[in-house]
Structure 1
Amino acid sequence: MTATTLTSHSAASNGATRRSRAKAIFAITLGNGLEFFDFTVYSFFASIIGSLYFPVQGSLNQLMLAVGSFGVGFVVRPLGGIVIGAFADRAGRKAAMTLTLWLMALGSALIAFSPTYKQIGLAAPALILLARLVQGFAVGGEVGASTSLLLEYADDRSRGFYGSWQFVSQGLNTVCGALIGVTLSSLLSPGALESWGWRVPFVIGMLVVPVGVYIRRHLDETLVHPEPVEGAAAVADVARPVREIVSRHRKALVAGIVTTIGGTAANYIVLFYMSTYAIKILGLPMSVGMSAALVAALVTALCSPFAGMLSDRLGRKWVMGLSRVALIAVIYPAFMVIHASPNVTTVLAVVAVLGAIVAFTAVPNIVMLPELFPQRIRVTGMSIVYCVGVSIFGGFAQFFATWLIKLLDNPLAPAWYLIGCGAVSLLALPLIREPAGRPLD
């Protein structure tokens, strides 16, 4: 089929057949998952990258620099969200997502083929940081565009389910990254893995371009009257939605950022940091750490559609609130259990439970964000809110957790980080009008 332009989100909702909607979910989920794979697979090989590119004294210091460079990719996310978000609100969701594909592949290529510190000195970590900045800029624009497109395909009673596939894609990319990590760590010797094996996932990640461009050629555009954006008009278009968001949607802006804190902290600690924690803090083999990430991501991905459907029935706020209270209650005992009994069975059981809770706390959050803004500024608004919250409290969650362990000399310290973020995020829920079931503007 060839792509056609839909005149409004209601046309997408009412005119699209169930089959075309299923194709849209598949295309957006796969393309988005490929991009997030490129961005997040770095986390699984942080310990190796730390030793090759950040040769400071002490493995914990190397780890802090490695996960810090992971967080650097989040620094430019808000900028990417603003620039690419404004582009998506003018030229269309598809055009913006295609742009992010190329940027993400460029970042993966830089990491895959970058020489190590021993080969080129300080230029090596500089290349890694540059790659993470490019990838962060791309993801900043991708999340808002793809999530908005998913919601604009849905009817008013099923936006939670449709939007949940954004989080499914993030979970599946983590599953793929962890599977590759488990396979490589099982088949290769430690020397081979450190020499060249860790580069394989980043080479695979470059497939985001041919696969992503192909599937997105078959998507329908949901933006009303997309227009070309060139030259000085592009600069003006960046400023226009930002001015409107700041002047007319300040409450949604602040409330959205604060609610995102709890969901993103839980997501990045449970899905990404727990693998590093198992290896570096608990002293378990790398295969166990990768397996922990695999189980957590798989459970999260499987639970996400149910979390979305439940938020369609009960409301986003109720599902978010109850799940975050549950996470606050169980997170410290969870860390106590795996520290007291650091074996593969205990670790996998704990991350499975936490992964399920993460789905119910994060899915309604990411679905709610584009619902807070009208279509003309939806991608920009959602991107700013999501990227600011994720950049600070998600991207640097691993760094904060490692730093707290070192500062407090307490291996259970990451639990306090999640408790604090979860408690703060609950404060913003009363500021938000329940969006579930209401028509999109």
Structure 2
Amino acid sequence: MSQVFATTSSMTSPSRMLAGRDIQTLLLASLGGALEFYDFVVFVFFALPLSHLFFPPDTAPWLAQMQVYGIFAAGYLARPLGGIVMAHFGDRQGRKRMFTLSVFLMALPTLAIGLLPVYASAGALAPLLLLLMRVVQGVAIGGEVPGAWVFVAEHAPRGRVGFACACLTSGLTAGILIGSLTAAWINHHLTPEQVLGWGWRLPFLLGGVFGFIAVWLRRWLSETPVFAELRARKALSRELPLRQVLAGHGGSVVLSMAVTWMLTAAILVLILMLPNLVQKSFGIAADEAFFGNSLAAFCLGIGCIAFGWLTDRIGAARALLLGSLALPAVTYVLFADLAAGGAHFLPLYALTGFLVGAVGVVPTVMVAAFPAPIRYSGLSFAYNIAYAIFGASTATLIGYLAERAGRMAPAHYVAVTAVVSVAAALWLMASGKGKSADMA
């Protein structure tokens, strides 16, 4: 694998603490990312009412839910398109421009979903419009997440890249917490009839407003020092960046896709889908399911920061190995408790959420795997292709397995992806390339 943990500019400067400007960049990037990620994930929290509203009333409940998860998955299939195009211009014209464009593209379809007609009034046009809006969301998030990681990593001082990337990831997961809290509030304060009648629209209308706030916030961000130096030295990629990635960095792409699979499974199965799964498979009440999810999402944010701190001290490979071993162990304990009645559901779900924070190590591995002139394109291609494959298949696969293959199936799936992540961590350790994001 060539140039793994390649360095440039501020990522090789002498180690220093985060300065005021660094903290401001992290806060603005993280807050904007949280608002945009809320827009993307709130869809899954309302999968049940959407399955009733956007498909014929005589559709079997399990089939309607599978169809909604299919529309949810379409957002993942669209991610590579947005990621590849935005990354190309991000490597050629600047990180900041694409960082602002992505959040604008997310706000528009999110607001539109809140205004869509349902099947009862628009017939088959309703699910088609929902699918179209979801695809546009996927295009936007495909450029947002990789761009955000590159942006904060290239602003971070030496020795703080792991913490900076993890803080940004924690900010993104805060969007999940906002979505979970919104879903919990709506399910608690509105009757099921009110949710189906108009309550489901609220989170999407709010999300559209949040998105435009994020656009405004990003006006205050500056271009990364790394890109500014590349432009000043006329060292920007002269060829198509993606062509360079595919021609000379295939190993980095494979590594990044492997760790992205674990990230995908942990976030999708244990955070986004679990509230609906525990209601259907284990009989947990909606209020308790979403309250537990809020706890888990909060602990996820803390866990990301903790693993980022650990990354800068023991190296990305060891931190990834630790998290990849601990996460499936606790996941099995959580599902075993649910199968026994769920007496300890809330504390175990909170602990699981904290260990899902191991995904905070993943962006450090990926950012460091590609040299600066093609970093955005390399990371974006690997991350979005992996998310398109695994994200699109996971939602429908887990829904099917939960119905047909037993209630422990989601835990088994998470364990399989953790094994792949362990293998990636061991490879990094054996090759000596997992010590730090800013060490050659």
Fold shared by both chains (TM-score > 0.5): yes
The one-letter code of the counterpart of 1:371 is A
Partner residue, 2:178: 176
Pairs within 5 Å for 1:56-95? 57-95=59-97
Q: How does 1:363-374 map to 2 (within 5 A)?
A: 363-374=360-371
Q: 1:247 to 1:42 in 2, by over 3 A?
A: same
Per-residue CA distance 1:275-311 (angstroms, 9 max, x = gap): 1112222233322221122111000101211110101
Counterpart-to-counterpart distance in 1, 2:267 and 2:412: 15
Equivalent in 420, 423, 428 of residue 427 of structure 1 = 423
User: CA 1:124–1:149 in 2, change beyond 3 Å: closer, same or farther?
Assistant: same
TM-superposed deviation, 1:438? 5.1
Distance of aligned partners of 1:226 and 1:43 in 2 relative to their CA distance in 1, 3 Å threshold:
farther
2:351 — aligned with what?
353
- Paired with 1:12 and 1:207, the residues of 2 have a C-alpha distance of 39
Q: Say if 1:11 and 1:246 are closer, same or farther in 2 by CA, change over 3 A.
A: closer
Q: Report Cα offsets for 1:316-365 as digits up to 9, x if no partner.
A: 111111221222333233212112113xx6221221111111102x1111
Structure 1 residues without counterparts, runs of 5 or longer: 1-6, 228-236
> What aligned pairs does 1:237-252 form with structure 2 within 5 A after superposition?
240-252=240-252
Over 3 Å counting, the alpha-carbon distance change for 1:251 and 1:220 in structure 2 is same
| 1:382 Cα offset (Å) | 1.0
CA distance in 2, matches of 1:125, 1:238: 43
Q: Say whether the 8 Å CA contact 2:320–2:421 is kept in structure 1.
A: no
Structure 1 residue 129 corresponds to structure 2 residue 131: yes
1:310 is aligned to 2:306: no
2-side partners of 1:413 and 1:249: how far apart? 35
CA contact (8 A) 2:114 2:201 kept: yes
Paired with 2:309 and 2:16, the residues of 1 have a C-alpha distance of: 22
Match of 2:228 among 209, 221, 224: 224
2:196 is aligned to 194
Distance 1:239 1:388, change over 3 A: farther
Q: Distance in 2 between matches of 1:16 and 1:411?
A: 47
Q: Give the C-alpha shift of residue 173 in structure 1.
A: 0.8
Q: Measure the CA separation in 2 of the matches of 1:211 and 1:226.
A: 31
Distance change in 2, residues 1:199/1:107 (3 Å) = same
Stretches of structure 2 that go unaligned for 5 or more consecutive residues are 1-7, 232-236
Is 1:412 equivalent to 2:408 in the alignment?
yes
Higher mean C-alpha deviation, range 157-166 or range 416-425: 416-425
CA shift for structure 1 position 187:
1.4
Question: Residue 158 of structure 2: SS of its match in structure 1?
Answer: coil
Deviation string, structure 1 residues 248-294 (Cα, Å, up to 9, x no partner)? 10110111101221222112111111111122222333222211221
* Paired letter, 2:387: V
Query: Which amino acid in 2 is paired with 1:49?
Result: L
Amino acid in the other structure paired with 2:297: A
Aligned partners of 1:158 and 1:17: how far apart in 2?
8
TM-score (norm 2): 0.90
Report the counterpart of residue 266 of structure 1 in structure 2: 266
Q: Contact conserved, 1:156 with 1:437, CA < 8 A, in 2? A: no
1:234 maps to what in 2? none
- Output one character per residue of 1:373-419: Cα deviation in whole Å (capped at 9) or x when no partner: 111111111111111222222344232111112332x1121111111
Bigger mean CA deviation after superposition, 52-61 or 190-199? 52-61
Letter in 2 for 1:43: V
Supply the RMSD in Å over aligned alpha carbons.
2.3
Return the letter of the residue paired with 2:433: E
Superposed counterparts of 1:278-317, under 5 Å: 278-317=278-317
The equivalent residue for 1:437 is: 436
- Provide, for residues 212-242 of structure 1, a one-character-per-residue CA deviation record: whole Å limited to 9, x for no partner: 2222111110122688xxxxxxxxx998111
Contact 1:258 1:428 in 2 (8 A): yes
2:234 counterpart residue number: none
- The within-5 A match list for 1:36-51 is 36-51=37-52
Q: Which moved more, 1:420-429 or 1:43-52?
A: 420-429
State the secondary structure of the residue aligned to 1:54.
coil
Query: Residue 29 of structure 1 corresponds to which residue in structure 2?
Result: 30
1:4 maps to what in 2?
Answer: none
2:337 is aligned with 1:341: no
> What is the alpha-carbon distance in structure 2 between the residues aligned to residue 438 and residue 347 of structure 1?
36
Residues 1:298 and 1:253: Cα distance change in structure 2 (over 3 Å): same
Question: Retained in 2: the 8 A contact 1:86–1:238?
Answer: no
Under a length normalisation based on structure 1, what TM-score does the superposition of the two structures give? 0.90
Post-superposition CA distance 1:145-192 (Å, at most 9, x none): 111111111122111110002221122111111111111111111111
SS of corresponding position for 2:344: helix
